[in-house]
Amino acid sequence: MTDQQPAVTEEMVRAALKNVVDPEIGLNVVDLGLIYNVDIRDSGRAVVVDMTLTTPACPAGPQIIEQAHREVKNLDAVYSNLEDVSINLVWTPFWNPEMMSQEAKDELGFF
């Protein structure tokens, strides 16, 4: 990586992941609180995302995970040093509605 080439940041990864929408709920995975961790490694060459689903039986799970991978990988169009993207599906802690952003809670009627 040259000094002039920018590295991908956690904020950029989270922004990309806002394009991933749970088709059953209609909200993005970031606002739903499904993204637990974004780890930028090797000077921006690798991104590892720990995420969960609203339930282990989520029928859209494979689609959501594939879309998350694709959205983060697409950052290589701007951050050409990005070589590897990993999406880890985790179940701890188990997701609950309190993890949603206030905007998501408002949208779904949680008060």
Residue 70, pLDDT score: 98
Residue pLDDT tens, the chain, 111 long: 445 667 899 999 999 999 999 999 999 999 999 999 999 999 999 999 999 999 999 999 999 999 999 999 999 999 999 999 999 999 999 999 999 999 999 999 886
Angle, helix 10-17 to helix 61-73, in steps of 10 degrees: 130
State how far the Cα of 35 lies from the Cα of 26, in Å rounded to an integer: 16
State how far the Cα of 81 lies from the Cα of 75, in Å rounded to an integer: 10
Residue 3, pLDDT score: 52
Residues written for the chain: 111
Tell me the DSSP string of 56-108. Answer: TT-TTHHHHHHHHHHHHHGGGGT-TT--EEEEEE--SSPP-GGGS-HHHHHHH
Residue 7, pLDDT score: 87
Residue 102, pLDDT score: 95
For residue 100, which of 26, 43, 22, 30 has the smallest C-alpha distance?
30
Per domain, the residue ranges of the chain are: 10-97
User: CATH homologous superfamily of domain 10-97?
Assistant: Fe-S cluster assembly (FSCA) (3.30.300.130)
- Full-prediction pTM beyond 0.85? yes
